[in-house]
Chains A and B, each alone.
Chain A
Amino acid sequence: MNATGWLNWRSLNQEGIVFAIAVVLFIAAAIGLPGFINSNNLVAIVRSVSVLGILALGMAVVIIGRGIDLSAVAIMAMSVAWYLQLLSSGMSDGLAFAYVLAGVLAIGLLNGILVAYAEVPAIFVTLATASFVFGYVRSQLITQDAVPVPPGHWVELLGGLRFLDIPVEVFVFAGLAFAFFLFLRYTKWGRYVYFAGDNPVAARNIGIPVRPMLVLRYVLSALVSLIAGLLTAASLHSINTRIVNSTLLYDIVLVAVIGGIGLSGGRGGVRNVLVGAALIGILLNAMTIIDIPLLYQNLIKAAILLAAIIVDGFINPRDEQTAQQGDI
């Protein structure tokens, strides 16, 4: 968005288009659907995309640095499943959490080191670690797909936390979004993420520690996944590792990409994630109120994504200047 704002349609980028679609949908739903504009429903919309949005924040930082983290959902589900399993086997809370935190950090480090130092493409590294994390935890560390939260445990109490009747996930999402915004916009290392994503070689030549920062981003993404997993378990009082097989991972990438974060890196920010999450949240909520079957919901979701990409292609055609090496 530039200073002239929405009036100049030529300046519309994908973020603007998606934002416009979200606003149109919102207005249409507010007029056409009874109960949509109700404050509780609006809270429910934000809540329904909170965990998705939190995961998308982690993914966004990785994508901006010209990478991708396909292990996010596996880390989210398996770390928390392991944690709950350790608790139910009688381990003390502190020790169990220390183990899990160490595990999550180790996987984040492994992802980062393989991408940064072994120079294996991120898509393969994280795909492999996702399978490894899922397979190892599922076969060696837990006994069942669904692991319940022990009654009275802090994770269960966390799920019941409300401020002004707003569930805790919403605040965590807002807090993390703000923290990521500050990090990307105002810290030196945050700015470096863009430089490294836009042109890694040049970034390295001017003395930016490109490789250690790559590692940092994957560790950050892994930690964010752990938070998202804890929030999921808090709300449902259990975690089901079957979520690793779901479309959640694609939804995370969808939220980031549909909001306008280019997969080629170097572009986008927290605002794009918020716009993408808003569109998905409004869309899913409206379709559930209308009672559209899941098959059609997926179709509609995909059609809107395609439409946004096509319109973006027309308005911002690719040329030698905008196209980059490494563009997926």
Chain B
Amino acid sequence: MSNTDKKEQTSTHKIGIYLWIWGLLFVLSFFSYMVDWYQFQGMLRWSLILFFMFLKAGLIMAFFMHLFWERYALVNVLLWPMTAIACFIFLMVAEFKYTLFTRLFYFFVGG
């Protein structure tokens, strides 16, 4: 029995870390709301939105979803496919620019 007790002890984390992450998520959400509240525009707005978004996503995945404590075999299987999404975004950015160009060209210039 004492053996299983020991094993369970390793599989939980102190409550403090969860409360810290929880608090941080609140603060970061508040900051990202403030980006809209103060109506920042342009590059500043976009970079702040992305910065807070990735920070929040990272905290949720690392600590709430325990990825920080998982072995690399699982972490890598989950994170590497994200590069495929990055490629897809890259392709579609090129695509929407081309679509916009052709629309403007044929709608307004008339071909």
Q: Do A and B bind each other?
A: no
List residues of chain A with CB under 8 Å of any chain B CB. Answer: none
